[in-house]
Amino acid sequence: MTDEILFAFGLTLFAGLATGIGSILAFFTSRTNTKFLSIALGFSAGVMIYVSMIEIFVKAKDSLVSAMGVQLGNWATVGGFFAGILLIALIDKFIPKQGNPHELKKVEDMNAPSKPATDAALLKMGTFTALAIGIHNFPEGIATFTSAIQDPALGVAIAIAIAIHNVPEGIAVSVPVYFATGDKKKAFKLSFLSGLSEPIGALAAYLFLMPFLNDIMFGVIFAAVAGIMVFISLDELLPAAKKYDESHLAIYGLIAGMAVMAVSLLLFI
């Protein structure tokens, strides 16, 4: 069991620290590869939607029906699913626009004119952006960890999908922080730290959820995880993919993500 927990933590850490990759891209490339990001974000959404509705939701329902009976179990599954959506929607609601990861930045923005580095208001805004994205990523850590504990192959797929969509979030942190400070190291550090909220989410799941884990708790958590991932895909990943490039590329990526996830699940049957 210890190896499974360490593996789950490792996956969550990998997914979270992908924000650092976005930060590096912001500093060492001159232009954003919008076509690649559009396809990648669509792919990530496809993986997350497919695995949520085909695998995670079904496992949650099986667990709850087994523990509570058919009627009550099905209602509990649907309730958990929409509770997950409500949770992540509330987090989005209370993150102000300037700190919301949906407000995309590009590498080119690094060269845009900005206020002087001594501007305290800019520094405050940049730091808050990193904090806000950290809060937004916290439930994703719970999702990755709990999925990896239940099914390591599933955890790998979710970790990769979340890592892909954390890359542009890393850019979104780095650009305003760099505006505020003129310091690339500080921008990278805050981008890196914002990704640590995902392993912190995993730690919270381990400390506060696992001691009480039974069929009902597992089913509700998994249903909520499915809801969280579907909301992130529809509210964040697909709109972001369309903003970066043509919508067709995002949809092609979405279908490819679903297909890869479908084949992966079939291979592990």
How far, in Å, CA of 151 to CA of 265, rounded?
11
Q: Give 68's Cβ-side CA count (13 Å radius).
A: 20
* 214 labeled binding residue: no
* 165 labeled binding residue: yes
* 248 labeled binding residue: no
How far, in Å, CA of 123 to CA of 143, rounded?
32
* 198 labeled binding residue: yes
* 102 labeled binding residue: no
* 166 labeled binding residue: yes
- Please count the other Cβ atoms lying within 10 Å of the Cβ belonging to residue 50: 24
Q: Decide: 187 and 177 in contact? Cβ < 8 Å.
A: yes
Q: Decide: 170 and 20 in contact? Cβ < 8 Å.
A: yes
Q: Considering only CA atoms, which of 196, 263, 269 is closest in space to residue 47?
A: 263
How far, in Å, CA of 60 to CA of 48, rounded?
16
Which amino acid, 156? V
Q: Binding site for Fe(2+): residue ranges?
A: 137, 140, 166, 169, 198
Indicate the annotated binding residues: 137, 140, 165-166, 169, 198
**Binding site for Zn(2+), residues?**
140, 165, 169
